[in-house]
Amino acid sequence: MLPVVTAIEMSKADKAAIEELRIGESRLMELAGSEAADIILKALEKNDNPEGCSFLVVCGKGNNGGDGFVVARHLLNRGATVDVVLLCPPETLKPVNREGYLILEAYRHHNEPLRIFHGIEEAIDSITETGYSALIDGILGTGLRITQAGEALPEPIASAITLLNTLRHNSDALIAALDVPSGLDATTGLSASPAVIADLTVTMAFLKTGFFFNEGPLHCGDLHTAEISIPRFIAEPVSTLLTDGEFAAEQFIMRNPAAAKHQNGKVLIIAGSISSTSSMIGAAMLAVKAALKTGAGYVCVSLPLTHAAAMHAFAPGAVVIGRDLDVIAEKARWADAVLIGCGLGRDSASVSFIADLLQRKEIAANKLVIDADALYALALPDLSSLSFGFSDAILTPHYGEMSRLSGFSVESIACDPLDTARTYAEKHRVNLLLKGYPTVIAAPSDPVLLNTTGTDALGTAGSGDILSGMIAALAAKGATTFNAGAAAAWFHGRAGDLAGTISSIVSAEDILEAIPSAIQEIFHIEE
Ligand SMILES: NC(=O)C1=CN([C@@H]2O[C@H](COP(=O)(O)OP(=O)(O)OC[C@H]3O[C@@H](n4cnc5c(N)ncnc54)[C@H](O)[C@@H]3O)[C@@H](O)[C@H]2O)[C@H](O)CC1
Ligand SMILES: [K+]
């Protein structure tokens, strides 16, 4: 799984590479610039023959601008024409960046196809007359900190960013951002005003957390990572990792050909309810079917027995038990994992039923997936300490449920879901899967995982019940609830992707049907 770092973690890794490994700063910058030039040319499909291509490189006063000078030089070396705009007086550049600038000045004495402009005003007429293949943004990188979305950037930075976005809009040129699109906070993904909207971002060494949150995904375009000789071990311990197919596959434990059904993961699902005015049996049905489709060998479901026939019609393989607490506890002892919550109801009788169950040792000591109405119960002040009694549990809130659990507003959770999930998991000593784009999976200690599969296809009634059923199945088959949560999030997202070509019309039934394809593709099994 790839590391995802904050600006502070990146700067620590840079510092460690320079001080511990003694890799010179100008060597890092050289690699950053040469790799970025290569990646940009490949993205333009001009890798073999960049001659005839023109590039505009806008450089700020920090090291991001220093990367820009190196990119400009490597593009020239490959035969391209380059215009460089420097946004600060050259004498104010730090030595490592001045070195890159002075090499470019020296190139000018050799009749290279290079123009260097000092400030936008000096450049504007020439720039508007030139047709560029790509506009390269070396204005701001990980050094930018913003405290709130829409914070105004000072001149000349603001005009330079606006110029890049306008040129992009009025021409065929792509914007390639170096390390981070300028104006985007690399840690939080909050964007300043203005901020570059890139077609591609070539980020140095490691992905940055800000690419995945808030406005980050809108600004980055295609993400590429440049290997700049900062080894992964220097960034350890990594606090955040990106889930991938290989990780998901490792958590999916295949059936032993000789095993019987009760050896292939036994799941108990306590879900669904009916009242005089409504029925939420569908939530139980979706969770049961999802667990079966994710490979659970045996699924038992506790629901009002009046609805046993409906459940049998939908999922004939499932065993139905009623609501007797002792019968449920006995089944929990038998099960390899227990899911509680989907559609159980929020009235006082349902809350006390959930509270009784969560205090039963057969349940609290088992692998436990807690969703929906069980999260509602757990958010009540009298019950919030119950999570300390769980052995291996995962809570699966969406932002609204997280708001009830944590007391924070939905807006503040949306602003920093990574920190919200990490802090809650640490404080309550429980695993937490915070549903969103991306989904964050946190344990009481690092690393936190991010899952980026899935689209708005998953934003449909019943989608969460399916995810919970999938987590319970993977946990029952042998994964820890943390790993099961992260892997299920991966498969669930892929199922959403595969469920229909138009994400806006994907339903819970479509996601269910796509689960086998999502699992098969990980193992490269053709349908
Ligand atoms: N060894 C290394 O550090 C390497 C870094 N690489 C590249 O360098 C940048 C990070 O460089 P840094 O000099 O730290 O910062 P920036 O170039 O991003 O410049 C930031 C600039 O902006 C100012 N600033 C901060 N906040 C604000 C604000 N709210 N409003 C206005 N201005 C602000 C700040 O003072 C700085 O002057 C990294 O992204 C890489 O591109 C190399 O890649 C390799 C080695
Ligand atoms: K940049």
Q: Using one digit for the tens of pLDDT, what is the confidence trace for 483-505?
A: 999 999 999 999 999 998 888 88
* Residue 69 backbone dihedrals phi, psi, to 5 degrees: -60, -40
Complex-level ipTM: 0.96
pLDDT at 510: 93
User: Which amino acid appears at position 506 of this protein?
Assistant: V
Chain-centroid distance of CA 485 in Å reads 14
CB atoms within 10 A of CB 100: 24
Alpha helices by DSSP H, listed for 109-255, are: 120-129, 157-170, 216-220, 245-251
CB atoms within 10 A of CB 414: 16
3-state SS of 31-46 is HHHHHHHHHHHHHCCC
pLDDT at 278: 87
Q: Report yes or no: 242 and 36 within 8 Å, Cβ to Cβ.
A: no
In angstroms, what is the span from residue 369 Cα to ligand 1's centroid? 43
CA terminus-to-terminus distance, the chain: 27
CA–CA dist 385, 414 (Å, integer)? 25
Pocket test for ligand 1, best of 25, 101, 142 (most atoms within 8 A of CB): 142
Spatial CA neighbour of 8 closest among 129, 140, 188, 147: 188
pLDDT at 525: 63
pLDDT at 512: 96
**pLDDT < 50 stretches in the chain:** none
Angle between helices 281-293 and 463-476 (to 10 degrees): 40
Question: Which residues of the chain form CATH 3.40.50.10260?
Answer: 2-238
pLDDT at 258: 78
Q: Using one digit for the tens of pLDDT, what is the confidence trace for 99-122?
A: 999 999 999 989 889 999 999 999
Q: Which CATH architecture has domain 2-238?
A: 3-Layer(aba) Sandwich (3.40)
Angle between helices 157-170 and 120-129 (to 10 degrees): 0
Q: In CATH, what number does 245-522 get?
A: 3.40.1190.20
Residues in Cβ contact with 520 at an 8 Å cutoff, skipping those fewer than 6 apart: 526, 527
Token output for 467:
């995810």
In angstroms, what is the span from residue 233 Cα to ligand 1's centroid? 23
Token output for 446:
């690092």
Pocket of ligand 1 (CB under 6 A): 14, 25, 28-29, 32, 60-64, 67, 140-146, 153-154, 178-180, 204
Angle between helices 508-522 and 481-498 (to 10 degrees): 110
In angstroms, what is the span from residue 189 Cα to ligand 1's centroid? 16
**pTM, two decimal places:** 0.94
Question: Which residues of the chain form CATH 3.40.1190.20?
Answer: 245-522
